[in-house]
Amino acid sequence: MGTEAKQVTPDTAANIASWCGGVLVEGINVEDSSIRQPGINVPCGDEVKRASCGDTVVRKHDGTFDVIH
């Protein structure tokens, strides 16, 4: 199995959440709380990392996932 990477956007977030076994959540922009964008709580081994729009979710060679900000 090779490495795969997918960038989180409003259009891709639901599919990426399904792909990585994550949970789709609503993110709030820290500079303007009226702006809402999807985020994903991604299971990464023993922890869960948040992937926001613009971040990349990576499936590594061993099948585990990681988030690159």
For all residues of the chain together, what is the average pLDDT?
A: 95
CB atoms within 10 A of CB 67: 20
In this structure, which amino acid lies at residue 19? W
Which pLDDT score, from 0 to 100, does residue 30 have?
Answer: 81
The model's pLDDT over 33-51, given as tens digits with 9 standing for 90+, comes to: 999 999 999 999 999 999 9
Is the pLDDT assigned to residue 1 strictly greater than 70?
no
Q: In the prediction, which pLDDT does 69 show?
A: 94
pLDDT at 22 over 90: yes
**Residue written as token pair 């977030």:** 13
The residue type of 16 is: I
pTM: 0.90
Q: How far apart are CA 11 and CA 32, in angstroms?
A: 21
